[in-house]
Amino acid sequence: MGSLTGLLYGCLAIFLGGWYFGKWTGNFSLLLFVLTVVTLGYWLAERFYFAPRRLAAANVLEQQDAVRREQLAHQGIVKVDGDVNQARDTLLMQPWWLDWTAGLFPVILVVFLLRSFLFEPFKIPSGSMIPTLLVGDLILVNKYHYGVRLPVINKKIIANNDPQRGDVMVFRYPKDTSIDYIKRVVGIPGDEISFRNQQLFINGEAAPMEQTPPPGFYDEEALRYFPEFKEKFGSVEHRILVNPQSQPFYGAEDKITFPFRENCRYSAEGVTCKVPAGHYFMMGDNRDNSQDSRFWGFVPDENIVGRAFFVWMNFGNLKRIGAFN
């Protein structure tokens, strides 16, 4: 069993190393589920097989020692060398391969349950949500806000809140569900969303947008200021970056393909889409630098991961810690 456990740990190290260096992609939820099942197997084996065998061997040792001492006492020998308690402790000691599997099961189980049903941490990898979220922000995602889903397969089993316009949502990228994206919900089922001439329209009405006082948002990486605006969806107010003077290029219309592509119209001014049932239209707050539903289409409900709500750490800027809209 020790050799088998070593082999399993070797395979895990190779897999994680290749994942880290980009040799292949991985599903962390699936990996955590597999680790939970494997360590559960070791934990059950320890509890109902290995531990009872070690205890039985220790009891036999104690009985043999007691018999030996009794025989020696009959011969008039009272002082007997050897510490049976030390030998007993050695027999009861958990081997390393059980300590590093069965011993880790409770910890892995708690992490699996917390991550699957309550909160999951994410790291912001790109600037598509600037100024709301910056590269390097470590955020928490509420996994139950939109309903309880089974881990790995992401099947909703208990409904909760529906996504609302203005929510910052983590979801599985429709073109590659092994990748998680984070954007803002701007369109819910039935909405007609237009983004024309750098202005967002929801069901024919322009989303209120007010420019913040100059000089705007300072990007420390680009070392320049960008026009910043406050945008409102009902009572939800958030900041966005958009340059009213620029005009994004969406590419040749016939090259943009995705499910329900017929619901969208592209023109020189921008794009207009009717959001189908069970889907959502997502956009980044950094409107000129965000690959979102304008380019790859709608997000189906089954791709939802959870609602992002809190920056719990940014090692480069501790002032980033806190809730956000």
Catalytic residues, by residue number, are 128, 183
d(CA 185, CA 197): 20
Closest CA relative to residue 231, chosen from 242, 246, 245:
242
DSSP state of 298: P
**2 contacts 97 by C-beta, under 8 angstroms:** yes
SS3 assignment, position 202: strand
**207 contacts 231 by C-beta, under 8 angstroms:** yes
Q: How far is CA 206 from CA 173, 195, 197, 199, 232, in A?
A: 27, 9, 12, 7, 10
Task: Quickly count: other Cβ atoms within 10 Å of residue 290's Cβ.
Answer: 23
Task: Quickly count: other Cβ atoms within 10 Å of residue 103's Cβ.
Answer: 16
Adjacent-strand bridge partners of 194: 201, 272
**142 contacts 309 by C-beta, under 8 angstroms:** yes
Burial class (CB in 10 A: 0-12, 13-18, 19+), 170: buried
**93 contacts 58 by C-beta, under 8 angstroms:** no
Closest CA relative to residue 160, chosen from 115, 110, 111, 117:
117
Burial class (CB in 10 A: 0-12, 13-18, 19+), 176: exposed
Adjacent-strand bridge partners of 307: 142, 169
Counting Cα atoms < 13 Å in the Cβ hemisphere of 102 gives 19
Residue 177: phi and psi, rounded to 5, are -70, -5
